[in-house]
Each structure stands twice: as structure tokens, then as C-alpha cells.
Amino acid sequence: MKKITALILSVVLVFSLAACSNTQQNDASDPVSSEAPSLVIESTPAEGTETKGSNILIAYFTYGENAELPDDVDASASASIQIFNGEVTGNTGVMARMIAEASGGELFSIRTVEPYPNNYNDTVEVGQTEKNNGIHPELATHIENLDQYDTIFVGFPNWWYGMPMVMYSFFDEYDFSGKTVIPFCTSGGSAFSDAIDEIKNMEPDATILDGLHIGSSSVTDAESRVSEWVQGLGLSK
């Protein structure tokens, strides 16, 4: 009887050792355990995917948003005043809104502390005085979150064969290093003049594109042209 009992105990012991050995091998080959940190997999955009709209800013200066105009202003009385989608603006403001619509970018109106006269002829004289005397008008609006934008459209009318002096105030205030700056301009016929070269001098570490000019008399009918231009830049929303 003792021999039979001993034999049974020996068999049980052999199976117990074998089971223990298998358990140890399984634990060694599986790195996942209840104490191991969880693995977080972050999704990344597919190669070639662009983030648009949220990283695009359209900054612009336009007369219609920088003058003390009456509430019932007659847009037909001045070629520089436009009412676009119910808003009083100017030619450059119209173009800016078309770019925003095509790209999904955010609008930023560049405004001065001192408003310009309520008629365009007097404003032209003020603009000449500013240019002749190197006056950089003080800005009333400021970009608070510039870091979030990779692409900045910058628009202005051509005053006295170049940018209005307020644009020098604008470029003095901001460093666009590493960003892409795309000028756009409206004028009676002088296009950019030397404006793009001036921007390159002021922002040497930014990528400055040649931009788009539209004649003042053609702005309100330029939506398809602006849309095609934005699409050609690869910035359509």
C-alpha cells in the first residue's frame, strides 16, 4: 500500500513540475501584463495631407474700414468704398473676403488709431504727407495669435506708387520668419510698384510670393479669378 501511495505521489509531482515550467515559458514570451504601461497610438495625417483654413490669416488694410464714414454712406459716390455681403469696406477688403471664402482663412482688418478723412481725395493727400515725411501710423488692431498661422495673405491698396505707410507699421510690428507671406493688391493701374521688394527687405526670413493684383474697377467681379489663384497656390479649403 505504501508503495502504491508513493508511486501516485511521484506521478503527481512530475505533472506539477511540468505545468510550472510551461507557465514560466508563457510569461517570458508575452511582454503585456497588468502592470505594464498602456500603449497609446497617435494618428498622424497621411503623407501629402495639408491643414488648411485654420493656419491661414488674411490681413488687409482698406480705406473703407479706416475712415469716419456716415452710417448711410453711398458706395456709388466713391470707387474706393464697397458694400460687400452687407458690410462697408473698400476694394482691398472685398478682395480679402474673396480670399477668405476660397481658402477658409481668418480675416484680420489692419486699422489705424487715427482714422482717415471721410472722403477719398483728402485721404490721398494724407497718404502723400505720410509718405513724404516717413510717418508710420499707429495701429489700433493687433494679431494676438500669430504663431498659429503658417500662411499670411497681406493686402493693401497702392498709394503713391507703393504700400500705404500703415503697412510699414504692420511689418515693423511682426516677425514673419519661417512663414509664407502672400501679398495682394488693388490699384487704379500701378499694380504692386515696389511693394514686394519692400516686403522682402522688411521680412528677409519669410518666404514672399509674388502675389495677385486686381484693378480697382474689376474687384467686385473678380471672385472666380481669386478662387482660381488660391486654388493654384494649393490653399483652397
> If we measure between CA atoms, which residue out of 107, 104, 106, 58 comes closest to residue 236?
104
> If we measure between CA atoms, which residue out of 219, 179, 235, 232 comes closest to residue 98?
219
Partners of 106 in beta bridges: 57
pLDDT at 47: 33
* Number of C-beta neighbours around residue 72 at 10 A: 5
> Which pTM was predicted?
0.76
> If we measure between CA atoms, which residue out of 222, 173, 214 comes closest to residue 59?
173
CB distance 110 to 64 below 8 Å: no
> If we measure between CA atoms, which residue out of 233, 234, 140, 152 comes closest to residue 199?
152
pLDDT at 121: 85
Distance CA 98, CA 105 (A): 10
Going by their DSSP bridges, the two strands 56-60 and 151-157 should be labelled as: parallel
Cα 216 to chain centroid distance, Å, stands at: 25
Going by their DSSP bridges, the two strands 87-90 and 81-84 should be labelled as: antiparallel
> What DSSP character marks residue 160?
S
Which parts of the chain sit beneath pLDDT 70? 1-53, 72, 74-79
pLDDT at 173: 98
User: How many degrees, rounded to 5, is the angle at CA 105 between CA 42 and CA 152?
Assistant: 95
Which residues are CB-contacts of 108 (< 8 A; sequence separation ≥ 6)? 57, 58, 59, 60, 141, 143
Helices (H), the chain: 2-29, 91-103, 120-132, 165-173, 195-202, 223-232
The CATH number assigned to the domain with range 56-232 reads 3.40.50.360
* Domain ranges within the chain, ordered by starting residue: 56-232
